[in-house]
Amino acid sequence: MHGLSDFVFTRMLNEDPVLKTIAILGTLPSPTDNSLVQPAILLIEKTHFAIQTTDSDITQRISDLISTGSNDIYNWWNAILSPGKSNDPDLKMTVIYPATEAHIAKYSHQTRKMITETAEVYRTAVLPWIESQPKSRIQWVENILSGLKEQENVLFRDNDPNTGFIILPDSKWDKRTLSSLYLLAISQRSDVRSLRDLRPEHLPMLKNIRDKVLAMVPEKFPGVASDEIRMFVHYHPSYYHFHVHITYVTAHVPGSTVGQSHLLDTIIDNIENIDREYYSKASLRFALGVNHPIYEIITKSQIAN
């Protein structure tokens, strides 16, 4: 990779106006053979503002102000910035080169739909699909639990075969910024595939995770209090071995929205105080990408009913 001056734009793959990110498909010549032109994916993100001080506040970089309106005490403007310095870049970029069809699919816009999984559809159609998945898909989890891989990442380990778990940083966390703290607790038991399997017999495990995380995080990460920790489970999860997401209370984390996520405390309360069989009875509703295999399984089941 020599740079981007030879990048030729093909088309936009995706964008997010809230997060200020775009994914562009283009081409770049090979650095070793200029006649070979291959696909490249460019992921670009506007940077956050540098730390503001009296000497370096952003208003000093404004080269043009364009008034767009005003009402009473409110005044709206657009502004153009003069070029920044290398310690205050405007963009963060990732270039994937050469990019395969799989990379292009991964970074392309995917239509999502709201969908309801009834208890019956789970039992008759979704569970058989989960059980048909090759065990090798979660071999990486077994490797961490058994101590074969990633031991340098493990922050905490409780080896009890029934209630134990390990904690490691989520790969999306920078391991520094406490306000975006993101850890994972992975259960030692491998017989709980998801939320749907949880029964009263698992309450000791769920409470052990809750209580030890609330004690351990403030100890390992001074500055995060136990009432600033949010713990939740995804449904559907990205892999079928029970795990709990642990984030700072206000961290913006993909998938922490209602429907995708279930608070650990709510799960415990539902099983303990509402109904022992809550998760085998409930209709669960969530947004799902239409290319996810479960989308087809559920929509076909509903037509068949």
Site for a second copy in 190-229 (CB under 8 A): 225, 227-229
Query: Smaller CB distance to a second copy: residue 42 or 185?
Result: 42
With CA atoms as reference, report the closest residue to 162 among 187, 135, 138, 139: 187
Phi-psi region of 279 (alpha: psi -120 to 50; beta: other; left: phi over 0): alpha
For residue 107, the SS3 value is helix
Residue 268 CB, shortest distance to a second copy, in Å, is: 9
Catalytic annotation present for 243: yes
Binding string, 16-45, against a second copy, x = CB under 8 A? xxxxx-x-x-x---------------x-x-
Q: Give the range of 4-12, 135-143, 161-169, 186-194 binding a second copy by CB under 8 A.
A: 4-12
- Rounded distance between C-alpha atoms, residue 246 and residue 265, angstroms: 12
Query: Smaller CB distance to a second copy: residue 96 or 130?
Result: 96
Q: Give the range of 122-130, 141-149, 152-160, 246-254 binding a second copy by CB under 8 A.
A: 246-254
For residue 23, the SS3 value is strand
245 is in an annotated binding site: yes
Catalytic one of 103, 243, 252, 262: 243
238 is in an annotated binding site: yes
User: How many residues in the shown chain lie near a second copy by CB under 8 A?
Assistant: 98
150 is in an annotated binding site: yes
- Rounded distance between C-alpha atoms, residue 155 and residue 212, angstroms: 12
Q: Which of 108, 180, 190, 280 binds a second copy (CB under 8 A)?
A: 180
Residue 183 CB, shortest distance to a second copy, in Å, is: 15
Q: How is residue 300 annotated by DSSP?
A: H
Query: Smaller CB distance to a second copy: residue 57 or 160?
Result: 57
Place of tokens 């101590």: 147
- Rounded distance between C-alpha atoms, residue 14 and residue 104, angstroms: 10
CA distances from 85 to 60, 93, 152, 286 (A): 13, 16, 36, 44
* 136 touches a second copy (CB under 8 A): no
Query: Smaller CB distance to a second copy: residue 48 or 135?
Result: 48
Site for a second copy in 95-134 (CB under 8 A): 95-99, 112-116
Q: What is the sign of the dihedral through the CA atoms of 273, 275, 276 and 280?
A: negative
Site for a second copy in 266-295 (CB under 8 A): 266, 269-270, 273-275, 278, 281-285, 287
With CA atoms as reference, report the closest residue to 202 among 188, 182, 216, 217: 188
Site for a second copy in 71-90 (CB under 8 A): 73-86, 89-90
CA distances from 210 to 156, 188, 282 (A): 13, 15, 23
- Cis peptide upstream of residue 236 (ω within 30 degrees of 0): yes
76 is in an annotated binding site: no
With CA atoms as reference, report the closest residue to 189 among 266, 244, 270, 117: 244
Query: Smaller CB distance to a second copy: residue 82 or 146?
Result: 82
Q: How is residue 55 annotated by DSSP?
A: T
> Which residues are catalytic, by number?
243
**Residue positions forming the annotated binding site:** 140, 150, 170, 172, 234-245
**Residue positions forming the annotated binding site for substrate:** 140, 150, 170, 172, 234-245
